[in-house]
């Protein structure tokens, strides 16, 4: 069983984690590597599935959770943020995330997406390559949906211009350094040995902390805690959750970068952990409230997807089931008990699901990646063999460091970004606009005609 982490510094020349370019050197008279058509087709499909997660998956999931007067605003914010980050990814994001730099940020070799056309990128198997363009779009889709996740925390009260400016700042100073530190050769957490198969720290903890900060800075919605604010269309939310689940197979299995056994493992673990989380959340809600809700089941699915993300290609099937079951219960507490303790109006429970679920998954990855528990252990791609020793305590401590670094960086950057937005373009809509609804006040249209 393989996994994308390497202890040896020699592997830096062969691993995609730093988006190592594999085009031949004219000076050395080395022929360009051959592109594997099967892996290329697989990764293009996975990139499309990640895009599908956000548009329409996340948009419908969030859209159903807000009140009817704000549904178009959430759909528009998701679409605009996704599109904005896609452009920024091409201009400078990819270069700063995945080219050689220092421990915290990449370099400028790929600014404005230069020199990507025709280049090949190494996968985790020696001699197997995919077009760098495919890796570029796959990772770009990750960046887009990560930024879009955050908007759920301050839905129904935020200025559209404020969302866009915040996105530029947070993407630049939080997402890109995290992606580089975790996934690029030479990155701070990569070199420490942090295990994050598909984005527990980079995507979910990162966005969850930013969401919590946003909810606290913007303050509560008018009438929060006093007026009923039920979701306006739970069928939308159920459809969105189902689309997220389907798209997540590309998110997790695609992170193997090849159509191989590791991808198959990540695929099945995504299948099982999500199902386990649906059941555990629903059962806990049933026992606590007397009835299992559809909203709870859909939220449990997302919690399971979040928690298995860092572990997808690293743990066995039993580990995936346990991680999903734990995540369902922990995230239910995150959107109920913890939310009350924090006194934050996280409108769509981004922190309770993505932040709490991401932390849970990141820590449990260190446990269930252990070979004695059916996990992959640590794999050296230079010798193409498993490393002989695996200490659960040591790995959990490394995972904890990754969690703490993510919390600190995302929290500080998010706070600074929200304050900049607040004192420039403005962060929150006026009271009358919030009461009228953002569909009309911000976008001049209504989802439903009365």
pLDDT at 210 > cutoff 60: yes
pLDDT for 241: 97
* DSSP SS3 for 105: coil
Residue for token pair 């009140």: 67
Q: Which domain covers residue 342, as residue numbers?
A: 9-443
- Under the banding of pLDDT at 50, 70 and 90, the label for residue 81 is very high
Within 8 A by CB and 6+ apart from 423, the residues are: none
Mean pLDDT of the residues in the chain: 91
The total of structural domains in the chain comes to 1
- Give the pair of three-digit tokens for residue 237: 């939310």
- Under the banding of pLDDT at 50, 70 and 90, the label for residue 31 is low
- Give the pair of three-digit tokens for residue 73: 């605003």
Cβ distance 402 to 194 under 8 Å? yes
Q: Classify residue 31: in a domain, yes or no.
A: yes
Looking at per-residue confidence, does 265 or 119 come out higher?
265
pLDDT at 21 > cutoff 50: no
pLDDT for 13: 32
Within 8 A by CB and 6+ apart from 204, the residues are: 149, 306, 309, 354, 355, 357, 358, 361
Alpha carbon 5 to its chain's center: 19
- Under the banding of pLDDT at 50, 70 and 90, the label for residue 325 is very high
- Alpha-carbon distance of 346 to 154, in angstroms, equals 6
Instruction: Tell me the pTM.
Output: 0.91
Picking from 138, 142, 101, the residue whose alpha carbon sits closest to that of residue 116 is 138
pLDDT for 269: 98
Share of the chain above pLDDT 70, in %: 91
- Under the banding of pLDDT at 50, 70 and 90, the label for residue 384 is low
Strand partners, 379: 386
pLDDT at 24 > cutoff 60: no
Cβ distance 55 to 82 under 8 Å? yes
Cβ distance 4 to 313 under 8 Å? yes
pLDDT for 383: 64
Q: How many CB atoms lie within 10 A of CB 382?
A: 16
* Mean predicted confidence (pLDDT) in 366-383: 86
Looking at per-residue confidence, does 384 or 438 come out higher?
438
Q: Classify residue 1: in a domain, yes or no.
A: no
pLDDT for 14: 36
- CA distance to 53, 115, 140, 233, 414, per residue, from 171 (Å): 19, 23, 12, 30, 10
pLDDT for 381: 61
Q: Classify residue 449: in a domain, yes or no.
A: no
- Under the banding of pLDDT at 50, 70 and 90, the label for residue 107 is very high
pLDDT at 388 > cutoff 90: no
**On the CB side of 187, how many CA atoms lie within 13 Å of its CA?**
33
Q: Which of 236-250, 310-324, 370-384 is least confident?
A: 370-384
pLDDT for 202: 97
- Under the banding of pLDDT at 50, 70 and 90, the label for residue 124 is confident
Q: Classify residue 318: in a domain, yes or no.
A: yes
Residue for token pair 């922990």: 330
pLDDT at 387 > cutoff 80: no
CATH number of the domain that residue 338 is part of: 1.10.3430.10
Q: Classify residue 105: in a domain, yes or no.
A: yes
156-190: per-residue pLDDT in tens? 999 999 999 999 999 999 999 999 999 998 999 99
- Under the banding of pLDDT at 50, 70 and 90, the label for residue 3 is very low
pLDDT at 19 > cutoff 80: no
Check the CA dihedral 311-303-334-403 and report its sign: positive
Share of the chain above pLDDT 90, in %: 84
Q: 289-305: b or e for each residue (b if 16 or more CB lie within 10 Å)?
A: eeebeebbbbbbbbbbb
* Mean predicted confidence (pLDDT) in 246-259: 96
- Alpha-carbon distance of 361 to 252, in angstroms, equals 13
Q: Classify residue 450: in a domain, yes or no.
A: no
pLDDT for 127: 87
Q: Classify residue 367: in a domain, yes or no.
A: yes
pLDDT for 32: 63
Q: Classify residue 75: in a domain, yes or no.
A: yes
pLDDT for 385: 66
Q: 406-424: b or e for each residue (b if 16 or more CB lie within 10 Å)?
A: bbebbbebbbebbeebbee
Provide the 8-state DSSP code for 165: H
Residue 361: exposed, middle, or buried by beta-carbon count in 10 A (0-12, 13-18, 19+)?
Answer: buried
């Amino acid at each position: 069983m393989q996994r994308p982490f390497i202890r040896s510094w020699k592997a830096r020349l062969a691993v995609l984690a730093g988006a190592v370019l594999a085009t031949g050197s004219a000076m050395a008279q080395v022929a360009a590597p051959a592109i594997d058509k099967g892996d290329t087709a697989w990764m293009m499909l996975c990139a499309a599935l990640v895009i599908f997660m956000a548009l329409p998956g996340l948009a419908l999931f969030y859209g159903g959770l807000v009140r009817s007067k704000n549904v178009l605003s959430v759909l528009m914010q998701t679409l605009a943020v996704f599109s904005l980050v896609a452009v920024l990814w091409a201009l400078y994001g990819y270069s700063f995330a995945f080219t050689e730099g220092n421990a915290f940020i990449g370099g400028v070799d790929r600014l404005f997406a230069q020199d990507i056309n025709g280049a090949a990128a190494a996968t985790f198997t020696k001699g197997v390559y995919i077009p760098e363009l495919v890796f570029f779009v796959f990772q770009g889709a990750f960046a887009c949906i990560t930024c879009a996740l955050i908007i759920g925390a301050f839905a129904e009260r935020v200025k559209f211009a404020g969302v866009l400016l915040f996105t530029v700042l947070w993407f630049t100073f939080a997402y890109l350094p995290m992606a580089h530190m975790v996934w690029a050769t030479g990155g701070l957490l990569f070199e420490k040995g942090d295990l994050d198969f598909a984005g527990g720290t980079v995507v979910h903890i990162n966005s969850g902390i930013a969401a919590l900060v946003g909810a606290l800075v913007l303050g509560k919605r008018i009438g929060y805690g006093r007026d009923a604010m039920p979701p306006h269309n739970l069928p939308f939310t159920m459809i969105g959750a189902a689309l997220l689940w389907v798209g997540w197979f590309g998110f997790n299995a695609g992170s193997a970068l090849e159509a191989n056994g590791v991808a198959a493992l990540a695929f099945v673990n995504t299948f099982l952990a999500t199902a386990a989380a649906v059941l555990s959340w629903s059962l806990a809600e049933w026992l606590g409230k007397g009835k299992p809700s559809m909203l709870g089941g859909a939220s449990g699915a997302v919690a399971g997807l979040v928690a298995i993300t860092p572990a997808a290609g690293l743990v066995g099937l039993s580990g995936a089931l346990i991680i999903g079951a734990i995540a369902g219960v922990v995230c239910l507490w995150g959107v109920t008990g913890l939310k009350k303790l924090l006194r934050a109006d996280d409108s769509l429970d981004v922190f309770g699901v993505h932040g709490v679920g991401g932390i849970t998954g990141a820590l449990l990855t260190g446990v269930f990646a252990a070979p004695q528990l059916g996990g992959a252990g640590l794999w050296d791609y230079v010798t193409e063999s498993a490393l002989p020793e695996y200490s659960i305590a040591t790995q959990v401590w490394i995972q904890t460091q990754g969690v703490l670094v993510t919390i600190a960086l995302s929290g500080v950057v998010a706070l600074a970004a929200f304050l900049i937005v607040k004192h420039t373009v403005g962060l929150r809509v006026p009271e009358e606009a919030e009461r009228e609804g953002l569909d009309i006040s911000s976008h001049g249209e209504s989802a439903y005609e009365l």
